[in-house]
Structure 1
Amino acid sequence: MTASVVTRWGDADLPVELTSFVGRRQEVGAVKRVLSEARVVTLTGVGGVGKTRLAVRVAGELRRAFADGVCFVDLSSVLDPAALESSVAESLRICDQSARGTSEIIAEFLRERQMLLVLDNCEQIADACGVLINAVIREAPRVRVLATSRERLWVTGEYVWRVPSLPVPRAVDAPESERGSSRPAEYPALALFAERAAAVSGVSVVREDWGDVARLCRRLDGLPLAIELAAVQTRMFSPGQLVRRFDDRLGSIGTLDRAAPARHRTLEAAIDWSYELCSPQERLLWARASVFAGRFGLEAAEGVCSGEDLPREQVLEGIVGLVDKSVLVHEEQQGEGQYRLLETLAQYGRDRLRQAGAEEQLVRRHRDWFVQWAEELATRWFSAEQLSCSQRLHREYPNLRAAMEYCLSTPGEEQMGLRFNAALIPYWHTGGQLTEARRWLERALAADEEPTPARVMSLRNLGKICTGQYDFAAAEAALRECGTLARQLQDPFMEACAITSEAGLALVRGDYAAGLAHAESALTIPEYAGRLERVETVSYMAVAHGMLGDYEAALRDYEAAQRCSAESGERYHLSWALQGQICAEFGVGANTAVIEHSREAMRIWREFNDAVGLSPAMTLVLCSTAAMGDFARSAVLVGARERIRRAFGLSFAHKDESAVIEAFVSQMREALGEAPYEAAVARGLSFDLDAALDYALGTEAPPEPATAQEESSPLTARERQVAALVAQGMSNKQIAAELVLSPRTVEGHVEHILTKLGFTSRANIAAWAAQQGN
C-alpha cells in the first residue's frame, strides 16, 4: 500500500522477480493474444519455471490497454478464503465500509471497470480463487484475469497456458554446442546462464565453456530458477566443475521423493545444492526467514531470526550473503530496504525449519515480535509519527495477518489474539478494511471472554468498526459491553474511550445533540481529559457543533484540537475537527473559507489514504463552488467526487451529505441546462484519481489545446489508435492482441474508419494515418 490514494492503476508498480526474462519474448506475445480472446488465462507449470515473471511481463505490456490498468495480487502467503478476498480488496484499494460479503464488494467494485486482475500463486487456495474469479467474470464483463498456479483453477472459460522450461540443446545436438557454438543465444537457457553469471559474478562464458553450460542446463531441465542459482556459483567454480558437482549431487539425493516428477526433483536438487553452499549462518537465516509472509525488513529479521547460533549483529551479513546468492530478493518499499524469498525458496526453507523441529518456535517468535511491534506503534499513534505508523502498518500487514491467524487458530493463544486486535485500530480505520477488521475482532472476542483490558479495547474497536459499517445495533451492543466492563475493571480511561465511541456513533446516526453530550461527558473524566487521545473527542465536538450550526463553538473546538495537535504532532483527528469548522462555515455561507479549509483537510486525508474523509470534504467544496455561482466547475466536481467514491468502493454516503448535494444539483441543472450539466459530470467521471483530486484541490494543470489532428479528425481516439496500428501493417488479430480487444471488435473499428473516411482499403487507412503523423 502506498502512502497516497492517487496512484493510478496503470502506473502501479509490478513486483520485481529474481528470474531473468531471457527467451520469453514470443511467449509474452502469445499470452497477450490469448488474453484478447479469453476472459481467464491461467499460467501453470512447476515451481521455478517462471510463471510469475511471465505474468508480470505480460501485465506490464498490457497496462495501457486497460482503461483502469492492472492490479497485481500476491497470494503466496494467503492460506484461507477470507484472507484471499481481503488481499484482493486491499490490492484494489477498496475502502470496504459496508457489512456485505467481501466477494460481493469486489465484484461490484469491478463491474464498471476495464481492468486486468493478476492473481499470483493461486495453488494453495485454488478452490477459493476459482469461486472469486467466477464471481468477477460474471459481474464485471470488461475485467480479465491472469492467474498463476501449479494447477488449473477450473473456472468458466479458463484457458490454461502451460509455461514450458527454457529450450536447451538436445543431447543429439550437443556435439556442435560442445565444440563451442558461436550462436548460444539460439538457446535461451544458455543465454540466461551467461547473463546471470556475468551479472552476479562478473564471469564471461567463453567459447570453450558452452558445451559444459549446455550439459548443465540439460541437467537442470531448463528451469530458470535452477539455472540462476547455478549461475551464481560461477564465482567459485567453472562450468565444467559445476556439471561434475551437480552430477554428484543428483547421485546422492536419496532423501528426495523418487516418485515426484523429474523436474520437481531436479529443482529440489538445485535448491538443495545452493543451500549446502551457503554458510551455516546463511542456512539458518534462509530457514528462519521462511516464517515471514512476503516482505520483511532488517529490524524484523534481527528480531525474529537471531539467536545464540545466529547473533543479531550477523543477521545483516547473512542477508547480504543470501542476496548475493540470489536467494533473497532486495526491494525498496517507502524508502526502506525490504527482502523476500521467492515462493519456491520459502517453501524449501520452511521444510528445513520443520525438519529441524524449529518451526513452532520460529512461528511463535514471529508472532511475538509483530505483536510487540504493533503495540509499540499504537502507543505512538497520537504523535508526529502518526503518518509513518500508518504507512508501516500497511506495509507489514501480510505479516500481521499471519501472526494474528496463528493467535486465533492455536489453543492457548486467544488472549494474545485480543491484545493483537486491540493494537491494530490505527490500521483498521486508516486502511478502510472494515469487513476484515470485524471478522478478526469477532473471532478474537468469541475465543476469549475473560474480562481483561485487551477485551475492553477490542470491544471498543468493534463498536467503532460497526459504526463505520452503519450496523448501529451491533455497535451499540459492543460499546455497551465495553463501558460496563471498563467500569468493572475500574478503568476510567477506557470508560471515557467507550463514551467517546458512543459520541461517534451518535454523529453517524445524525443525532448531533446526543453526540455532543457524550463527548462532553467523556471530557469530564480526568484520567482521559489530560491525555493526548482527547483530540478524538474534541474533533467529535467540532463536528457536532458545526452540524448544529454553532459557528463559534465549532471554531473553539477546532482551536482546541489544534492545541492537542501541536502538543502531540498528530494530524488525522485534526482533519476531522477541521471538518466540523467547515460545516459551521458552510452553514453561515462563508464559501471561500469552506473551500480553503476543505482542501486543507483533503490534503491530510490524501496522505492517510482515507477515502471516507475525502467524500464529505469534496461535497462541501462542490456545494460551496455552486453557491458562489460557478456551476460549470461544481458540476465537474460532482463527477470527480463520484469517480473517487467508485475508485474506493464507497457504496453509500451519510444522509445529510446526500441531501445537500441533491439540493445543489437541482440548481446546476437549471442554470446550465441538462446537456451541459451531464457533459460536465461526464468530464469529472473521466478523470483518474490524480486528476479528480487535483481538480478538487484546485491544482489541476490547465487544459491542453486540442491538436490539429484531433480537431480535424472524424475518428474517435480508439479509432485513431486502430488506424495507427493498421499503418504499421498489423492484422486485425494482431491489433486485437495489442489492444486486448476481440478481433470482431477490431473489425468493427476498421469498418467505421473506412466508412467515416470514405476509403475502400486498409492501404488507404495506412496512407491517411501517415499523413496525420500517426
Structure 2
Amino acid sequence: MATPVRSHRGGAGMPVELTTFVGRREDITAVKAALSGFRAVTLTGIGGVGKTRLAMRVATDLRRAFADGVSFIDLSAATDRAALDASVIEGLRIHDRSGREAVDIILDFLRERQMLLLLDNCEQIVGECASLIDTVMRRAPRVRILATSRERLWVTGECVWRVPSLPVPDPDFGVGSAQGSPAPVQYPALVLFGERAAAASGASVNREDWPDVARLCRRMDGLPLAIELAAIQTRVFSPGQLVQRYDERLGPMGTLDRTVPDRHRTLEAAIDWSYELCTPHERLLWSRASVFASRFGLDAAEGVCSGEGLPREEVLASLAGLVDKSILVPEEQLGELQYRLLQTLADYGRTRLRAAGAEETLVRRHRDWYLQQTEEMATQWWGPDQLDWSQWLRREYRNLRSAVEYCVTTPGEGQAGLRLTAALLPHWHAGAEASEGRLWLERALAADTEPTLARAMSLRSLASICASRADYAPAEAALRECHVVARDLHDPLMAARAHSAEAELAVNRADYATALASAEHALACPEYAEGPERAQVLSAVIVAHAMLGHYDEAVSAHEEAVRCSVEFGGRSDLVWALVGRAIAEFRVGDHQAVIRYAGECIRIARDYDNAIGLATSYLLLVRSLAAEGDFGRAAELLGARRRICKELGVPTLSEMESLLIEALGTQLEEELGGTSFEAAVARGYAFDLDAAIDYALGTEGDEPERSADAGTADAEPSPLTAREQQVAGLVARGLSNRKIAEELVISPRTVEGHVDHILTKLGFTSRAQIAAWAARQGG
C-alpha cells in the first residue's frame, strides 16, 4: 500500500484533514494511503463532485488487501438510526435469528473480520453514522471505514479528504498553438467530457473544439456531474454554443442565490438547464421519481408517477428520455431492468416536487402503490409465481421499508402500516431483515390497536419471527392476543394460522408433542387444511415426527407437502419439509437419501435466499457423509459451511447445534488426522458461495473457484473459471439470465452470481463488454 500522505492533527477528537491534491490518480493514491494509516477516512465535498465514484475506485483497488472483502452500503434512503442499522445489516447480508439489538448483530458479524466498509451518502444522518463508526472502530479492530458525506463526521481518529473538482486547463489552453489545439489527455475534466459527448452523440470532439470544451469545463468548475450533464447536450449544441449558453445563463450569477458558494451555484445552474431541456413529461417524471427510496422499475414508475399531466402511456418514453440525458441510470437487478436517480439529481427533483406542493401527494401515492403490490404478493405467495415474488421483494425492499416508515410515522396511517407489515412476513422470515421486521411490526402494532384482521395477521407474523429467533415470551404473548382477535372477528382461518404459528414455536422449543397437537388444531379448519397455507404447518409436522422417531408419519407428511407444492406451485416451504425428511432418513440410517434430500433443499434455499436453510442443509450433508465414511468430503463441506455462515452472517442457532458441530469436527479430525483434516476444511473454506453449492450438489464439473485470498497453485490463462467462461459465451449469444439458467440447468440466481463475478474479474460494467470479450476469445 502507498506511503501515507502528510497530514496535520487537530485537537482531541478532531479529524485529520488532507488538503493537497495534484490530480485524479494522485487523489486515488492519497486516499489509499490514508486508509493505510487511519481506521476511518471520510471523503467530503459538494454533491456531484465525484465522492462515490472515487470511493468505489479506491475500494475496487483495495479489495484484495482485505481478507473478508469490501462491502458497499448505500445510506441514501436512511433517515434515522433504525434505518441506518437496517441498511448495514442488508449490505453485509447478515442473516440473524437471535432477536438481539441491531448494533450487537452488526458488531458480532464484524468483530473478527478484516474488511473495508464503504458507507455512501452519510450526510443525512451524520450523528448516527458517527456513533456507529466509532463503535465499530472500538469493537472490530480489523475493520476500516471509507465514508462519503457532504460534511465531515467528526469521529475520533477520522481522516478527512476533501474531494476536489477535476483539474481543468489554464485560460490560455490551445492559444498560440501552431498546429491547432493540444491533446486534452492530461486533463481528466476534458477526457470525461469527450467520453460522455461521444457516448451521447456518437461522434468524437473535433480538435478545434477543445478550447471551447476547456472553457466550458472551467465554467463548470471541474465538477464531474455538471460536466457530464453538459456533454449530453452535444447532441444538440456544439461546444462553442454550449459555452455561449452557459455564459448567458450564469453571467455574474445574478439570477442565483449569492449566499450559496460558487461551485454549488455552478452545479445548480447545470442541473437547472438540464431540467429545462427536458420535455414537460420528463420533468414531471424526474421530480416524482425522487420519492423512490432506491431503484424502481417501469411498473412502479407507471403506478406512482403517472397522472396529473403525465399519462401512463407516456411514462416509458419519458424514462427513455431521462436515460438518454443521463438523469436516470439503468441497472439490471435480479432479471429486471430498473432505474436509479443519482443522489444529487434526486435531491433536486425532491426540491422541485416540494416547490410544486406535490410532495405529500406523491409520497402517499408511493405508499399506496407498494401496499397494493405487497397485498397482491401475499395473496399469490403460495402460487406458481412465488419465486418471481421473492425476487420482487428483494429488489423492492428499500421502497417497501420507506412505505412502512411512512405508515408508522404519519398520524392516521396505522391500519395501512399493519396491512403492510403483516404481508411482508415471507421476506422477513427467511431473509436478513428479520430483526428489522420485528422492529417494524412492533411499531405498527403500537401505532394502531384496533382489533382488525390486519392486526391479527401482524401479531401472527411477529410471533413467527420471535419463535424462529428463540425469543419465546413475546411470541407467546403475540399468539395469545392473535387468538383473542380471531375469536372476536369470528374468523376460523385466522385462528388456524395462529395454531400453525404455535406449532412452529413448539418445534423451535423442541416440544414436538405440543407441535403436533397445535398442527392438528390448525388442520381441523377445512379452509386452512385444503388451501396452500397448510404448507407452513406441514413443515412443522414433518420435523416433529422426525425428531420423535415417527418415520412413517414424517414420510407421509412430507409427501403431503410435496403434493401441496405441486397443486399450488409454491416451493419456499419445501426447504423445511426437506429438512424434516432428511432428519427422518438419517434416524433410520439411509444416508444416501439424506444426501439427496439435503441437496434438493440447497437448491431451493439458494433460489429463495434462505441462508438459514442453506446452512442447515450443509450440516445434514456433513453428518451423513461422515456416517458413510466419506470423511474427506465431509471435512471440505464443513469448511464450506463455515465460509457460508461467515459470509451470510448465519449464527449458531442453539447449544445443541453448537455441540453437534463440535462433535463432527472432533470425529473428522480423528479419522483424517489433524493435518489432513485442517487441509480439507481449508479447501472447503476457500470455495466461494457458488462453488460451494456446486461442490455440495456434485455438479461442480471443473475445479471450483477459490476466493481471491485463498491462493492457487497454478495460474490459469483466463481469469475466469470454466463455468464462468461458459456463462460468458452464452451472454455473448444474447441470452438472458433466465435463459442461461435453463441452458445450464442451474438457477437464475446462480447465473446472476456468475455474471457479477465475470464483470468484477474483467473490470467490466456491462453485458455488452462481456460479449465483446467472449468474441475476442473465440467463444
> What is the TM-score with the length of structure 2 in the denominator?
0.85
Contact 2:688/2:705 (8 A) holds in 1: no
Displacement, 1:700?
4.3
Counterpart in the other structure of 1:729: none
Displacement, 1:572?
1.1
Displacement, 1:703?
6.0
Counterpart in the other structure of 2:358: 358
Counterpart in the other structure of 2:31: 31
Counterpart in the other structure of 2:11: none
Q: Which has the larger radius of gyration?
A: 1
Supply the distance in 2 between the matched residues of 1:298 and 1:247 (Cα, whole angstroms).
37
Closer/same/farther in 2, CA of residues 226 and 500 from structure 1, 3 Å limit: same
1:738-757 superposed matches below 5 A: none
Q: How many pairs does the alignment contain?
A: 691
Displacement, 1:383?
1.1
Counterpart in the other structure of 2:88: 88
Once structures 1 and 2 are overlaid, which stretch shifts more, 359-368 or 605-614?
605-614
AA of the residue aligned to 2:192 = L
Closer/same/farther in 2, CA of residues 482 and 29 from structure 1, 3 Å limit: same
Once structures 1 and 2 are overlaid, which stretch shifts more, 80-89 or 246-255?
246-255
Supply the distance in 2 between the matched residues of 1:177 and 1:110 (Cα, whole angstroms).
58
1:167-186 superposed matches below 5 A: 167-171=167-171, 175-176=175-176, 180-186=180-186
Once structures 1 and 2 are overlaid, which stretch shifts more, 343-352 or 150-159?
150-159
Contact 1:542/1:581 (8 A) holds in 2: yes
Supply the distance in 2 between the matched residues of 1:717 and 1:566 (Cα, whole angstroms).
45
| CA deviation map 1:633-675 (0-9, x unaligned) | 3233333222222222222224443444444444334333444
Supply the distance in 2 between the matched residues of 1:93 and 1:360 (Cα, whole angstroms).
33
Counterpart in the other structure of 1:157: 157
AA of the residue aligned to 1:250 = L
Supply the distance in 2 between the matched residues of 1:148 and 1:179 (Cα, whole angstroms).
43
Closer/same/farther in 2, CA of residues 425 and 361 from structure 1, 3 Å limit: same
Displacement, 1:178?
12
Supply the distance in 2 between the matched residues of 1:386 and 1:350 (Cα, whole angstroms).
34
By relative contact order (CA 8 Å, sep 6+), the higher-ranking structure is 1
Q: Secondary structure at the match of 1:171?
A: coil
Q: Secondary structure at the match of 1:572?
A: coil
| CA deviation map 1:264-320 (0-9, x unaligned) | 011001101111111111111111111111211011001111104110000111111
Contact 2:174/2:182 (8 A) holds in 1: no
Q: Secondary structure at the match of 1:116?
A: strand
Whether 1:304 aligns to 2:320 is: no
AA of the residue aligned to 1:310 = L
| CA deviation map 1:546-580 (0-9, x unaligned) | 11111111110011011100111111112211221
Contact 1:120/1:148 (8 A) holds in 2: yes
Supply the distance in 2 between the matched residues of 1:71 and 1:86 (Cα, whole angstroms).
14
Counterpart in the other structure of 2:343: 343
Q: Secondary structure at the match of 1:169?
A: coil
Whether 1:492 aligns to 2:517 is: no
Counterpart in the other structure of 2:290: 290
Counterpart in the other structure of 1:546: 546
Whether 1:580 aligns to 2:587 is: no
Contact 1:75/1:119 (8 A) holds in 2: yes
AA of the residue aligned to 1:417 = G
Closer/same/farther in 2, CA of residues 51 and 501 from structure 1, 3 Å limit: same
Displacement, 1:718?
11
Counterpart in the other structure of 2:241: 241
Q: Secondary structure at the match of 2:185?
A: helix
Counterpart in the other structure of 1:709: none
Whether 1:209 aligns to 2:199 is: no
Counterpart in the other structure of 1:756: none
Counterpart in the other structure of 2:10: none
Once structures 1 and 2 are overlaid, which stretch shifts more, 670-679 or 571-580?
670-679
Supply the distance in 2 between the matched residues of 1:604 and 1:64 (Cα, whole angstroms).
31
Supply the distance in 2 between the matched residues of 1:692 and 1:643 (Cα, whole angstroms).
9
Counterpart in the other structure of 2:608: 608
Closer/same/farther in 2, CA of residues 705 and 452 from structure 1, 3 Å limit: closer
Closer/same/farther in 2, CA of residues 587 and 130 from structure 1, 3 Å limit: same
Q: Secondary structure at the match of 2:296?
A: coil
Supply the distance in 1 between the matched residues of 2:714 and 2:488 (Cα, whole angstroms).
72
Counterpart in the other structure of 1:643: 643
Contact 1:113/1:143 (8 A) holds in 2: yes
Contact 1:384/1:569 (8 A) holds in 2: yes
Once structures 1 and 2 are overlaid, which stretch shifts more, 476-485 or 673-682?
673-682
Contact 1:382/1:570 (8 A) holds in 2: yes
Supply the distance in 1 between the matched residues of 2:704 and 2:352 (Cα, whole angstroms).
60
Supply the distance in 2 between the matched residues of 1:252 and 1:354 (Cα, whole angstroms).
28
Counterpart in the other structure of 1:107: 107
AA of the residue aligned to 1:350 = R
Q: Secondary structure at the match of 2:318?
A: helix
Displacement, 1:685?
3.5
Counterpart in the other structure of 1:629: 629
Displacement, 1:720?
12
Contact 1:35/1:144 (8 A) holds in 2: yes
Contact 1:322/1:328 (8 A) holds in 2: yes
Closer/same/farther in 2, CA of residues 510 and 217 from structure 1, 3 Å limit: same
> What is the TM-score with the length of structure 1 in the denominator?
0.85
AA of the residue aligned to 2:154 = W
Displacement, 1:404?
1.1
Supply the distance in 1 between the matched residues of 2:497 and 2:705 (Cα, whole angstroms).
55
Supply the distance in 2 between the matched residues of 1:190 and 1:592 (Cα, whole angstroms).
65
Counterpart in the other structure of 1:571: 571
Contact 2:97/2:653 (8 A) holds in 1: no
Q: Kindly, what percent of the aligned residue pairs are identical? A: 63
Supply the distance in 1 between the matched residues of 2:512 and 2:382 (Cα, whole angstroms).
25
Displacement, 1:176?
4.6
Supply the distance in 1 between the matched residues of 2:252 and 2:348 (Cα, whole angstroms).
18
Counterpart in the other structure of 1:390: 390
| CA deviation map 1:443-488 (0-9, x unaligned) | 0000000011000000000001111221100100001111111111
Closer/same/farther in 2, CA of residues 490 and 356 from structure 1, 3 Å limit: same
Q: Secondary structure at the match of 2:532?
A: coil
Supply the distance in 2 between the matched residues of 1:70 and 1:582 (Cα, whole angstroms).
36
Displacement, 1:690?
3.2
Contact 1:169/1:177 (8 A) holds in 2: no
Counterpart in the other structure of 1:712: none
